[in-house]
């Protein structure tokens, strides 16, 4: 039954990949693999906008994926988009059109998050006790990861890929020594800043996970009649020499190289050689699992085992920035109190909203690490730019925005463009956090809020007698009425004796 299956969809710069699986004895059993070459990255013009043709190729591929995902539970499907949609200035246009084709949200993830998930996919499917280096050459970016067993030690994402390098160095299908050398030099220059760290790591296993690497290895294996799955630097350089015998790529043919991959082969090979030379790699091996498998394992952990890497990220940040956990929990408790009273009126019944509120309350004072003055602005900056494993770009920006608006004036113009979330829902979360912070200004446990009642965006805060008798709290709440109006909320205050029907 599809209700018991999980799916990961990777919207890459070169191809869209869909993998479905079921869980058997805590292990994933792949059921379906579907790949559609889209070359989305090739459709980025000089202004970093996706062309209409590229968008249409992507939408057509998504329609095919949507057919294969019919019957899947929404919480069992996770869609990630990588380099091209990170870079595209008009990504919002594509995401809006995609929502009409694919009934699952598309999560644009950062390069670091992509690298982390790639390593997770390898680590979960290929146990290894020693230090290892994993790299993945995509259409628009290359991820480089070092790690031990299941834990990555370093994550890097570089803006070079087989599609983007093809456009820069081999756009007309001509392959010359000069062009290849230019691509090689550019790749090595991008790798140079991390080369010392990677070499020092002394990996005893090197894995290439991309389709490009696997194609080159297959070519070498069939050409040299050597064991499949491995590639030496010497063999890679022989591939280069063989490729340069043909000035026009259309004249080149080799067993193991699919026709669809041939146009981007010189660029991919240049990056492979650059990686091996810059990091001192003599031999590498390939592996089938990567980003999609990492997404699947993360998804099943979240749904079945209730292990959410995002919670670990928040906990780690709270420890790193020495958050006052008692105060943060007071804010969270007040916020949850209000959310329980408001969730039906505001359509926030999904437990995910309670989780987001908890994270925002936990991290709303990370900015104290910089300065107590303007703490909300500093908190916003930290959360906006921090490496936050498990969070999509939009999830992270929403968290940063909610925290950044928890004090002082509400500035709606600072809200990010949203596709995964409704703006009104985010505004409601901001409203709740702002009030929760106000109720806990003295940083001491107290019973000041009795309940919250709402009819649409008309909200009545009913205070306990202690709250009503607290002039500072009442004054702060009266000032807050104007800020809540900016969020579309009509706020009123009342003592315990008053109710909504009597207003």
pLDDT tens digits for 46-103? 899 999 999 999 999 999 999 999 999 999 999 999 999 999 999 999 999 999 999 9
pLDDT digits (tens, 9 = 90+) for 140-197: 999 999 999 999 999 999 999 999 999 999 999 999 999 999 999 999 999 999 999 9
Q: Rg (Cα) of the chain, in Å, rounded?
A: 26
The answer as to whether 353 is a domain residue is: yes
183 and 200 share one domain:
yes
Report residue 327's pLDDT band, with 50, 70 and 90 as the boundaries: very high
320 and 333 share one domain:
yes
Q: Torsions phi, psi of 151, nearest 5?
A: -110, 120
161 and 223 share one domain:
yes
pLDDT digits (tens, 9 = 90+) for 104-132: 999 999 999 999 999 999 999 888 889 99
- Cα dihedral 156, 159, 160, 161 sign: positive
The answer as to whether 13 is a domain residue is: yes
385 and 237 share one domain:
no
- Which residue bears the tokens 């091209």? 84
Domain carrying residue 58: 2-109+293-303
Q: Above 90 in pLDDT, residue 503?
A: no
List C-alpha distances in Å: 323 to 26, 53, 71, 239, 320: 35, 49, 43, 55, 8
Number of Cα atoms under 13 Å in the Cβ half of residue 68:
21
The answer as to whether 409 is a domain residue is: yes
CATH code, 280: 3.30.420.150
What is the per-residue pLDDT for 165? 95
Q: Residue 226 and residue 229: Cα distance in Å, rounded? A: 9
91 and 187 share one domain:
no
Q: Residue 472 and residue 152: Cα distance in Å, rounded? A: 49
354 and 425 share one domain:
yes
Q: Residue 33 and residue 140: Cα distance in Å, rounded? A: 22
58 and 146 share one domain:
no
The answer as to whether 85 is a domain residue is: yes
CATH code, 38: 3.30.420.40
CATH code, 358: 1.10.3210.10
376 and 282 share one domain:
no
323 and 340 share one domain:
yes
458 and 350 share one domain:
yes
Total domains present in the chain: 3
75 and 195 share one domain:
no
Kindly list the strands in the beta sheet with 131-137, ordered across the sheet, starting from the edge strand earlier in the chain: 151-158, 142-148, 131-137, 205-208, 283-286, 230-232
The answer as to whether 32 is a domain residue is: yes
pTM of structure? 0.86
276 and 298 share one domain:
no
DSSP 141-174: -EEEEEEETTEEEEEEEES--HHHHHHHH-TTSB
Q: Residue 406 and residue 429: Cα distance in Å, rounded? A: 10
């Amino acid at each position: 039954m599809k209700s018991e299956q999980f799916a990961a969809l990777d919207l890459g710069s070169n191809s869209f990949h869909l993998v479905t699986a079921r869980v058997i004895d805590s292990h994933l059993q792949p059921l379906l693999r579907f790949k559609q070459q889209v070359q989305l990255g090739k459709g980025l013009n000089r202004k970093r906008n996706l062309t209409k043709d590229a968008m249409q190729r992507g939408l057509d591929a998504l329609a095919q994926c949507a057919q294969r995902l019919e019957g899947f539970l929404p919480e069992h499907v996770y869609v990630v988009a990588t380099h091209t949609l990170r870079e595209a200035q008009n990504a919002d246009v594509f995401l809006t059109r995609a929502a009409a084709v694919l009934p699952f949200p598309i999560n644009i993830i950062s390069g670091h998050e992509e690298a982390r998930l790639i390593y997770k996919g390898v680590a979960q499917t290929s146990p290894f006790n020693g230090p290892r280096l994993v790299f993945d050459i995509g259409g628009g970016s290359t991820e480089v990861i070092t790690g031990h067993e299941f834990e990555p030690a370093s994550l890097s994402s570089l803006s070079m890929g087989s599609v983007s390098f093809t456009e820069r160095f081999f756009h007309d299908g001509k392959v010359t020594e000069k062009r290849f050398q230019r691509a090689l030099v550019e790749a090595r220059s991008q790798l140079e800043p991390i080369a010392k760290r990677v070499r020092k790591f002394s990996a005893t296993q090197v894995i290439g996970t991309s389709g490009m690497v696997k194609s080159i290895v297959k070519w070498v294996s069939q050409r040299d009649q050597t064991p499949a799955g491995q590639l030496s630097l010497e063999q890679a350089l022989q591939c280069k020499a063989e490729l340069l015998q043909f000035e026009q790529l259309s004249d080149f043919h080799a067993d193991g190289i699919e026709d669809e991959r041939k146009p981007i082969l010189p660029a991919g090979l240049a990056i492979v050689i650059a990686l091996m030379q810059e990091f001192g790699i003599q031999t590498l091996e390939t592996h089938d699992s990567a980003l999609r498998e990492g997404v699947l394992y993360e998804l099943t952990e979240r749904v079945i085992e209730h292990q959410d890497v995002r919670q670990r990220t928040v906990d780690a940040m709270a420890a790193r920035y020495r958050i006052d956990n008692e105060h943060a929990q007071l804010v969270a408790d007040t916020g949850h109190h209000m959310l329980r009273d408001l969730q039906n009126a505001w359509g926030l019944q999904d437990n995910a909203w309670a989780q987001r509120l908890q994270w925002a309350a936990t991290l709303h004072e990370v900015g104290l690490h910089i300065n107590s003055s303007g703490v909300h602005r500093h908190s916003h900056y930290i959360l906006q730019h921090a490496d936050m494993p498990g969070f999509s770009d939009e999830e992270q920006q929403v968290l940063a925005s909610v925290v950044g608006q928890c004090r002082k004036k509400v500035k709606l113009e600072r809200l990010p463009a949203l596709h995964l979330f409704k703006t009104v829902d985010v505004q409601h979360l901001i409203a709740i956090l702002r009030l929760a912070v106000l109720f806990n200004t003295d940083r001491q446990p107290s019973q000041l809020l009795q309940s919250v009642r709402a009819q649409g965006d008309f909200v009545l805060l009913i205070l306990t007698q202690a709250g009503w008798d607290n002039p500072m709290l009442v004054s702060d709440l009266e000032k807050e009425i104007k800020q809540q109006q900016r969020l579309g909320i009509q706020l009123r205050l009342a003592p315990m004796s008053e109710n909504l029907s009597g207003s």
